[in-house]
Amino acid sequence: MKHVQIIQKPCIKSGNHTACGECQASCQSACKTSCTVANQKCAKEEK
């Protein structure tokens, strides 16, 4: 492509292999007031 550079391919995971629910609750990580999930990790692989 001439005018666009791909930095990140589609990455939001959906489907039956997701939603295990084992990941950390976002509010428990550091913030305790301004929750976000952008900086959370999927726990499926590491656990």
Partner 1 sequence: MIHAFRFQDLNVLLDVESGAIHTLDDAAFAVVQALESGKDAYSIGVKNETVAEVIADLNELRENGAYEAEAGNAPEVTGGTAIKSMCLHVAHDCNLRCRYCFASTGDFHGARMLMTPETGRRALDFLIQRSGTRKHLEVDLFGGEPLMNWDVCKQLVAYGRELERKHGKVIHFTITTNCVALDDEKIDFINREMHNVVISLDGRKEVHDALRPTVNGKGSFDIILRNAQKLVATRGDREYYIRGTFTRNNLDFLEDVKALTGYGFHQISIEPVVLPEESPYSLKEEHLLRIDREYDALAEYYVNARKGRDTWFNYFHFMFDPEGGPCLRKRINGCGAGTEYIAVTPDGDLYPCHQFVGMSEWKLGNLDSPDLRTDLQKSFLGCNVCTKEICRNCWAKYYCSGGCMANAVLYGGALEHPHEISCHLMRKRTECAIGAYVKER
**Residue carrying structure tokens 């007031």:** 33
Tell me the per-residue interface mask from 17 to 46 with partner 1, x by CB under 8 A, - otherwise.
Answer: -xxxxxxxxxxxxxxxxxxxxxxxxxxxx-
CB of 41 to partner 1, least distance (A): 5
Number of residues that bind partner 1 (CB under 8 A): 45
Rounded-to-integer distance, Cα 27 and Cα 32, Å: 5
Q: Do the beta carbons of residue 22 and residue 33 sit within 8 Å?
A: no
CB of 23 to partner 1, least distance (A): 6
Task: Please give the residue ranges that form the binding site for partner 1 (CB under 8 A).
Answer: 1-16, 18-45, 47
